């Protein structure tokens, strides 16, 4: 997160939001926001939101996809993760990434596996 400048900015009822700068750290060779950087932001937000929803259980990514909708050269993008499904063994989150004008840049979906917390020592 630190290497890409990703920051959490807001936690609300049913969402987690964060930002990432569009600069030399997140550019691809043509000076545009790298699709992989968008996916890194999406995975960070989706996995973190999933961990909060799991209430002590661990979550790990099973699958992530992304549709890159608009090029961005500079500024800050904002991602918002919202749950589509929060179950006992899986979660699915949609992450919408927007530019500073609120236009969609990337839509991503991540599927997480929920790994139950092991019992405390001495408990079966």
Tens digits of per-residue pLDDT, 76-90?
A: 999 999 999 999 999
Query: Span 12-32, mean pLDDT?
Result: 97
- How far is 9 from 18, CA to CA, in rounded Å? 5
In a domain, 121, yes or no: no
What burial letters (b/e) apply to 36-61, b meaning 16+ CB within 10 Å? Answer: ebbbbbbbbbbbbbbbebbeebebee
In a domain, 51, yes or no: yes
Number of separate domains in the chain: 1
> Is 100 assigned a catalytic role?
no
Q: Which of 2, 10, 43, 98 is catalytic?
A: 43
Q: How far apart are the first and last CA of the chain?
A: 37
What sections of 20-82 are H helices per DSSP?
A: 35-54
- How far is 76 from 66, CA to CA, in rounded Å? 18
CATH (domain of 53): 3.10.129.10
Asked whether the whole model's pTM tops 0.85, one would answer: yes
């Amino acid at each position: 997160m630190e290497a890409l400048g990703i920051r959490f900015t807001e936690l609300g009822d049913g969402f987690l939001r964060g930002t990432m700068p569009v600069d030399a750290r997140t550019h691809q060779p043509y000076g545009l926001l790298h699709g992989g950087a968008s996916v890194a932001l999406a995975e960070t937000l989706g996995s973190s939101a999933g961990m909060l929803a799991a209430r002590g259980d661990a979550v790990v990514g099973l699958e992530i996809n992304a549709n890159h909708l608009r090029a961005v050269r500079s500024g800050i993008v904002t991602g918002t993760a919202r749950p589509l499904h929060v179950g006992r063994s899986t979660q699915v989150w949609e992450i919408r990434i927007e530019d500073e004008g609120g236009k969609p840049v990337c839509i991503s979906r991540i599927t997480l596996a929920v790994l139950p917390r092991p019992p405390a020592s001495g408990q079966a």
